[in-house]
Amino acid sequence: MDDKDIIELSNIMKNNNICVSEENLGQLITNCEYIINSTSTKNKDISSLSYLIDIEMSQSECIRLGIGCEKLISDLIMKYANVINIKKKNEKDKKEKDHLFMDVENKVIYYAEIKANINLDTEKSKITYKKCQEIVLELKEEYPEYEIKWCLVALRYLEYDNIPKTIKSKYSNISENLYGINDYLKLLDINLIFTEDRYKTFLNNITKSMFKT
């Protein structure tokens, strides 16, 4: 240990006797390089459902909004489509399905996964659509006399054509089954077509009801 090290150690030992004030803590925060270089952004992901919401939302609220929309759209389908809900409670070792309806008269099973944001990395998007494909195979075995109509619904977008090409490319294996909300309603023969303004109002009304803003 040289003289410089001894001096620095001496200063540290002296500082141990100093009472740390709020001002001292503030200075430490101000001078900490890691904290100075850390930034936070409140910008919303343009490919997420939350982008259409007027208020700031936490991550947990965004997740809850997605679930709320899934439940409400299910209620809408039950009210205005000629189907029954055949979704079962979650079972061990069984893949969970978001929506599962049966049209008894026309012998059709409607299966859908509802996503607030499909802009996932390559691996996660692959897992998402492969899950859908596996469930479709299970449904074909379980309901051999029924036609299986299915889709992955991107809640952020009205129609497939609105989905950015960069996102579509991640789901090229199921491009015919990638839907926007209007596509999904049309599949179920529901007489409702959202415009951008009407859909945004609809989503913000859901948000206000959920979070009492």
Inform me whether the pLDDT recorded for 162 exceeds 50: yes
Tens digits of per-residue pLDDT, 59-80?
Answer: 899 999 999 999 999 999 999 9
> In which element (H, E) is residue 44 found?
none
Contact 59, 42 (CB under 8 A): no
Task: Name the DSSP letter for residue 152.
Answer: E
Residues 191, 197, 200, 201, CA torsion sign: negative
Contact 102, 86 (CB under 8 A): yes
Predicted pLDDT at 89: 83
**Rounded CA separation 62/49 (Å):** 8
Retrieve residue 90's tokens: 């979650």
Predicted pLDDT at 58: 87
pLDDT band at 15 (very low <50, low <70, confident <90, very high): low
pLDDT band at 44 (very low <50, low <70, confident <90, very high): confident
pTM of the model: 0.79
Lowest mean pLDDT among 40-44, 92-96, 130-134: 40-44
CA distances from 21 to 8, 29, 63, 194 (A): 22, 13, 41, 58
Inform me whether the pLDDT recorded for 41 exceeds 50: no
